[in-house]
Amino acid sequence: MLPATFNGCMKIIIIGPAYPLRGGLATYNERLARAFQAAGDEVRLLTFSLQYPDFLFPGQTQFSTEPGPIDLEIEVSLNSVNPLSWLQVGRRLRRERPDLVVFRFWLPFMGPALGTVARLVRGNGHTRCVAITDNVIPHEQRPGDRPLTRYFLSACDGFVSMSRSVLGDLQRLGFGQKPALYRPHPLYDNFGPIKPRAAALAQLGLAANTRYLLFFGFIRAYKGLDVLLEAFADARLAGLPVKLIIAGEFYEDAAPYEAIIQQHQLEGRLVRATDFIPNEKVADYFCAADLVVQPYKNATQSGVSQIAYHFERPMLVTDVGGLAELIPDGEVGYVVPPNARAIADALVDFCTHPEKQAFFEEGTREVKKQFSWEVMVAALKEVAEKAIKN
């Protein structure tokens, strides 16, 4: 049983990206807040007035152009590079005495701000600070990452990880004695219902007599779009009625990708949507796709998989990090080594055996039942409970 403070209505603060910031982290945090609300808790999102200085942000803009959510309380007050802001937020939350503060940690750069807030809040002797750790060893490592990460992790009471590999990283960094649980990334079920494929194709202006592979999300080196392009150049695929949709904004120089496209004369076989994809268009891309491809070179977990599960789309993922934990090979799609030949072999198999699509779709309908937001809420509260007992 949970202690008295965790029974009934809890007062919860979620600290991390939220509206007016955009992207997958903001989407996740807002959906988590709604899950806490559904559990009867009082919840507020506390987000950044400045998340990244412009010179550190690789995309076009950090801010959403969509209307803000009207069902959530969102406070915009934390500046990631202003220590006075960290002190003000931390001291105020210490006085407020929430039962639980949930931190979203994904990047060592955020360690000083979030770690300082956590230390100040815990000073009231009441509040428990639990981190959802997307990564503790970043995909793209830089000097100073480990001390910044340790500064934050040492300020937390416990952790919830969405991949077993991150739990292992926590132990390797010396935090195995703190309460920690693995719970898979819940479904992204906030992009609307499943659409008929014909309607999605019509919205995107795509032909119905072609099959579509979907690469979705910000384009960064570790996500392996270059490997996918090399795989898609395979001669066995060139003669098939199949196109690759690239749906996501470049977060790095596009020139190396363009060179591969030109080298293999892929332009006519691609559908480009290389701007930020707004939430209202997500359903169209996934429902138009026959297969969602995640050719990552390294990963912990991916929200793209959970969007694909929601829309019941078959997947191809590479066997890196925690990706394969969520994708049963041969049941909902393919798990392959992270190289162009293996990816091409799986794509050829899928595109030449059309009966597999219906089989994989049925698999997604079964597997997705295990990815609930209620499970994530319960895990965060369970870690807080264990922290109290410690």
- Is residue 281 in some structural domain? yes
Global pTM value: 0.81
CATH number for 176:
3.40.50.2000
pLDDT score recorded for residue 367: 94
Do 170 and 265 lie in one domain? The reply is no
pLDDT score recorded for residue 321: 77
- Is residue 58 in some structural domain? yes
Do 383 and 360 lie in one domain? The reply is no
Q: Say what the alpha-carbon torsion angle 244, 289, 279, 71 is, to the nearest 10 degrees.
A: -160
pLDDT score recorded for residue 66: 79
Domain count, the chain: 2
pLDDT score recorded for residue 104: 96
pLDDT score recorded for residue 2: 43
- Is residue 182 in some structural domain? yes
Do 165 and 37 lie in one domain? The reply is yes
- Is residue 171 in some structural domain? yes
Do 164 and 216 lie in one domain? The reply is no
Contacts 24+ apart (CB under 8 A), 62-65: 62/21, 62/22, 63/20, 63/21, 63/22, 64/19, 64/20, 64/21, 64/22, 64/26, 65/278
Look up residue 204 and give its two tokens.
């995107």
pLDDT score recorded for residue 41: 97
Q: Say what the alpha-carbon torsion angle 231, 236, 240, 245 is, to the nearest 10 degrees.
A: 0
Is residue 51 within 8 Å of residue 26, measured between CB atoms?
A: no
Over the chain (390 residues), the average pLDDT of each successive run of 10 is: 57 96 90 96 96 64 77 96 97 97 94 97 96 81 85 96 89 90 92 95 96 94 94 94 95 92 96 89 96 88 89 95 86 96 97 95 94 95 88
Q: What are phi and psi of 104, to 5 degrees?
A: -100, 115
- Is residue 192 in some structural domain? no
pLDDT score recorded for residue 275: 85
Is residue 326 within 8 Å of residue 184, measured between CB atoms?
A: yes
- Is residue 191 in some structural domain? no
What is the number of H-type helices and E-type strands within the chain? 15, 13
pLDDT tens readout for residues 50-69: 987 765 555 556 667 778 89
Do 139 and 211 lie in one domain? The reply is no
Do 317 and 202 lie in one domain? The reply is yes
Do 216 and 336 lie in one domain? The reply is yes
pLDDT score recorded for residue 368: 93
- Is residue 352 in some structural domain? yes
Burial of 59 (0-12, 13-18, 19+ CB in 10 A): middle
List the domain range (segments joined by +) for residue 129. Answer: 4-186+372-389
- Is residue 20 in some structural domain? yes
pLDDT score recorded for residue 279: 87
Do 104 and 249 lie in one domain? The reply is no
Query: Which residues lie below 8 Å from residue 169, measured CB to CB, with a gap of 6+?
Result: 135, 136, 137
Do 236 and 276 lie in one domain? The reply is yes
pLDDT score recorded for residue 353: 95
Nearest to 293 by CA among 331, 246, 259: 246
Do 163 and 278 lie in one domain? The reply is no
Do 291 and 332 lie in one domain? The reply is yes
Do 103 and 250 lie in one domain? The reply is no
